[in-house]
Amino acid sequence: MTENVLTTAFEMLTPLHRPIMVIALRGLFDTAEVATDAVDALTADRVAPIVASIDADPFYDFTQERPQVEFDDSDIRQILWPVNEFRIARFPGGAHDMVLLAGVEPHLRYKTFADAIITVARSLGCEIVVTLGAAPEAIPHTRPAHVVGSSTNDGLVRALGLSRPQYQGVTGLVGVLQERLDTADIPAVSLRVGVPHYLGNAKHPQSSAALLAHLEHVLGVPTGHAALAEDAMRWRSLHDEAVAEDDQAAPYVMMLEHDYDRRMEAAMPSGDDLAAELEKFLRDQRGDDTLGEGGIHPSDG
């Protein structure tokens, strides 16, 4: 059934080097589009060709996710539909290439949409799937954004110091995808970053950079998170001004700062340990004792 909704261009593609798929979907679990902005940053200033796409028509209620009408450079009117395109990013000499999806969470047919993602992951030989998300939390914008990770895979939980999902309740596409990845026996990790809830839907590139920094630690490839520093500083100034102008917001942020400082603790191990443990886990999954080309040995740091 997925072949009817999935368009691919794999035939002429040079094999990827031990690829990892990274996914973020705009919707319920992407506050202020922090996660999709992070994936978009991975393709900035980089050749990242499209290798597959999911047809929008079966998956959306277009009264909620309305298409856009625009004129192109030739003044020809065109309709822009929700886009779910898989791009590849190669990292010569790095531990892994990446398959990237920054898309839009569907409204309908979650199973079919998730199976389309799994088809791409299998076809391109992805060793692991990482989903990124962002959620509002009672944290101050003046402190580093906090990233937490979880997995249902016991090996990844042990290797990366992750937690097992404890949430029960309504879920989105990512929750469905994680369950179907388990069934498909594809290792998966979910990374979620907190976004100060009082900022509403204001951009928060500091949180996007935090997600990318954790990805860099785990994947052993440069994510370019430092390039978001200038944008993060600009938005930090705007947030500071908004808080300073609100008599109630300023003391509330101070309270959040004190609480944050008291309970500050590392959500995940150090970057060097993460990269080494992930490589060990993936070697064990492949059932070999030798390092693949470009692999990271635990003693390499």
Q: Which domains does the chain have, with CATH numbers?
A: 2-290 (3.40.50.10900)
Mean pLDDT, contiguous 10-residue spans, the chain (301 residues)? 84 92 94 95 90 96 92 89 95 91 96 97 96 94 90 86 85 92 94 92 93 85 87 92 90 91 61 76 75 39 39
The number of C-alpha atoms within 13 Å of 83 and in the hemisphere containing its C-beta is: 12
What's the confidence (pLDDT) of residue 1?
60
Computed on alpha carbons and rounded to an integer, the radius of gyration of the chain in Å comes to 20
What's the confidence (pLDDT) of residue 44?
A: 87
**What's the rounded Cα separation, in Å, for the pair 253 and 106?**
35
d(CA 150, CA 164): 5
Q: Whole-angstrom Cα distance, residue 41 to residue 254?
A: 31
Residue whose token pair is 């009408």? 69
Closest CA to 28 of 72, 70, 65: 65
CB 275 within 8 A of CB 220: yes
Alpha carbons 185 and 154: distance in angstroms, whole number: 12
